[in-house]
Structure 1
């Protein structure tokens, strides 16, 4: 089963027998067999026909509507669709199984940190970055076997510090100072960019978790609370350096976001201004709609990377021995 992402500013999506058909200006653009789908995610102003909606409800296919930047605006669920047993399986994961998933997520995050730094310094690499790459490789090698959750959090924290120091060296000439993680409230322009991007991505992840019948508040690494969806914080880790940070660096290096005029200081923090938020959202929607190579050996929008990780976690919930597949930058 797979998700169908509909990312267009306009068009019509209908049903032809067992096929979901996407059209724009009377031209057929795509056909997907409905029996292969378990959810349809609509990004943009497309019109879904009533026969298609009824067929989805009859076949237990959920439909979710998103803004182009990824905010979920609402969902259509069949009345009898539910994943209560899936949540029970999730809650039954023991400490060792949760640790296996957490290690995979942190390994993915650190690996993505290294590859991003390597890509940003292909032409010229300063000594501080070379040293950080060596230490990140060493920390990555330490995440193996049976280590305690506390030890894993310590390794993740050290890796984040090394990565942010190196990134700060690379962005200093653009006027952005990277001092470490400070998001509540953000105290620097780069913290403001990161906080905003992680928030948008986290909202999209939480929606996917709920669509797949998982409990966003039942994590494997972070501790949840009534106001903290721990599983969202867990799964977002590898995407910080796979999706958000590279995108923010691109905005900075191309001059689309500047440290001296894109931010406002208020309430003890630093935040993106209204104009900058609109610019960020518009560019983010385009960035996430671009096609990339997916783990399933096909191409699809970057949004599907989130879906792949959530589906991998669903499989892990039912069979922890199969491990957790985490998207990594190559």
Structure 2
């Protein structure tokens, strides 16, 4: 699949060759031309997996300041090519300046949390429609509605974190009602280490999603460790965690629930370790990774585009929108709202 989004050409079709024909980028598979894109339409390239690029095209991209980012087929960031004068240092400088600007920091924290609240509410509403309302689900929905009303009035990032934390507590108090299989129970969120299969699965899927968000941020030249909602700590990809909040329930939790409710995972896919930790087995991890990669290929509607886009590109789109906001090209950061 090859798509042009936000002036960036995303190439995910394996085995294609990108070459330069005059002032046109040509996407070829064997002797067939799949797409022609005028080079002046592009601000950058993002290629995934087995995609070849001609040296003449690379040289032209470097000369004209078109950034080229390489990712593995599964979405892991591998490297980036920039010309002699790169805008990345200016982008990172804008990122650090925003961190020192209380207004910008608050705005981004609110936008990340608003998306999380709205997308989590979708998961809760879907459960009520399909299985009926329970007291815990009703309480979680009320908490999310209250948080969404209060969020615009928050004056500090700590207030935003408090609203997000209260909603998350209510959500996980109701999470057991989202499970259909009697093979798994859920008594609440726990981690480091997880002490039951559901928490082990959630932690693993969150780690996969964080990797995707980290790669997307690195692909546009942002520093994944400099976040606005999550506190800065050495070695912590705070901005990736910020971005992940937009997708946590809508992507990660829904995938985990589908694996459990459709019985694609069973108790045999988990192992208890000394000390009470519960982890996915090797086979369990294979099942989850396979489902995660399949989900990345599913196309959904993004609020800013007419054509559906693969779910796997959503973090990349949001990372570029975030970069545009930090550069001052956008007045607000348009967070992702699912359907």
Common fold: TM-score over 0.5: yes
1:185 aligns with 2:190: no
For the pair 1:110 / 2:111, whether they are aligned, the reply is no
Deviates further, 50-59 or 138-147: 50-59
Q: Which runs of 5+ in 1 are unaligned?
A: none
Within-5 A mapping of 1:287-326: 287-294=295-302, 295-319=304-328, 322-326=331-335
Calculate the TM-score normalised by the size of structure 2.
Answer: 0.87
TM-score normalised by structure 1 residue count: 0.90
C-alpha separation between the residues in 1 aligned to 2:278 and 2:214?
Answer: 25
Report the Cα offset of residue 166 of structure 1.
2.1
Q: Quick check: 1:96 aligned with 2:103?
A: yes
The equivalent position to 2:20 in structure 1, one of 12, 15, 20, is: 15
Alpha-carbon distance in structure 2 between the residues aligned to 1:58 and 1:289? 33
Distance 1:197 1:52 in 2: 37
Q: Runs of 5+ in structure 2 lacking a partner?
A: 1-5
Partners of 1:156 and 1:264 in 2: CA distance: 32
Cα distance between partner residues in 2 of 1:214 and 1:133: 34
- Return the offset for 1:82: 4.2
Tell me if the contact between 2:18 and 2:53 (Cα under 8 Å) persists in the aligned partners. yes
Range with greater deviation from structure 2 (193-202 or 49-58) = 49-58
Q: Which residue of 73, 76, 80 corresponds with 1:75?
A: 80
**Where in structure 2 are the equivalents of 1:252-263 lying within 5 Å?**
252-258=260-266, 260-263=267-270
- Residue aligned with 1:143, SS: helix
Q: Distance in 2 between matches of 1:229 and 1:10?
A: 32
Separation of aligned partners in 2, 1:21 and 1:174:
53
What is the distance in 1 between the residues matched to 2:8 and 2:309? 10
Aligned length: 329
Of the three residues 232, 253, 256, the one matched with 1:248 is: 256
Could you say if the C-alpha distance between residues 280 and 16 of structure 1 is closer, same or farther in structure 2, counting changes exceeding 3 Å?
A: farther
Aligned to 1:133: 141
Name 2:338's counterpart in structure 1: 329
Aligned: 1:266 with 2:304:
no
Q: Does 1:119 align with 2:118?
A: no
Matched, 1:171 2:179: yes
What do the CA deviations read for 1:64-109 (whole angstroms, capped 9, x no partner)? 3323322223333334424222222222221122111101111110
Shift of 1:174: 4.6
Quickly say closer, same or farther: Cα 1:7–1:279, change in 2 above 3 A. farther
Contact in 2 for aligned 1:69/1:281 (Cα 8 Å): no
Root-mean-square deviation (Å): 2.3
DSSP 3-state at the match of 1:35:
helix
CA, structure 1 residues 318+251, in 2 after alignment: closer, same or farther (shift >3 Å)? same
Q: Partners of 2:289 and 2:221 in 1: how far apart? A: 28
The offset of 1:187, in angstroms, is: 2.2
Deviations 1:3-47 (A, max 9, x none): 222223433333333333333343333333332333322223233
Once the two structures are TM-superposed, the CA of residue 155 in structure 1 deviates from its matched residue by: 1.2
